[in-house]
Structure 1
């Protein structure tokens, strides 16, 4: 398991996924995507599921990592594994800067 991965206690629906080695974050994404697909059925999600997930996840991810590092963009960028300039560009495009 990667150093920063966190595992939640296995309970109910999570027990099987966690016993198969899926991280708590991976299980959360899997559960949310399954729910979304069940909700829309055969309807087209328009922009594509990948683009939708990235658009919905990237903003909160950047906000949380930046807040965790007390607004320090260099440390946040390092934690995200991206260049500081890339982080600034993403923050600007998302209206977070």
Structure 2
């Protein structure tokens, strides 16, 4: 069991993984054979990163140290990502 007492493999990761799978599949059906300009990987990262940062910051009352720890990145990296997404 991890430090936070939450079994991520049983709770968060499976639900998150399922959500991503369904969304990506639906997107692929919608676009068919039309390629993404920057590729699907870049599109997913671009679309997911800002809301992820926003939600984690909100959950941690905008405490960058706690948010960075939750994300598994250092605070300087978090600040760069927040700035890049206009979230500072």
Give the TM-score band, short-chain normalised. 0.7 to 0.9
What is aligned with 2:57? Answer: 66
Size of the aligned set, in residue pairs, is 83
CA distance in 2, matches of 1:76, 1:68: 8
4+ runs deviating over 2 angstroms: 1-7
What is aligned with 1:47? Answer: 38
Secondary structure of 1:46's aligned partner: coil
What is aligned with 1:85? Answer: 76
1:31 counterpart = 2:47: no
CA RMSD of the aligned region, Å? Answer: 1.7
1:95 counterpart = 2:86: yes
* TM-score of the superposed pair, with normalisation by structure 1: 0.80
Change (3 A) 1:82 1:28: same
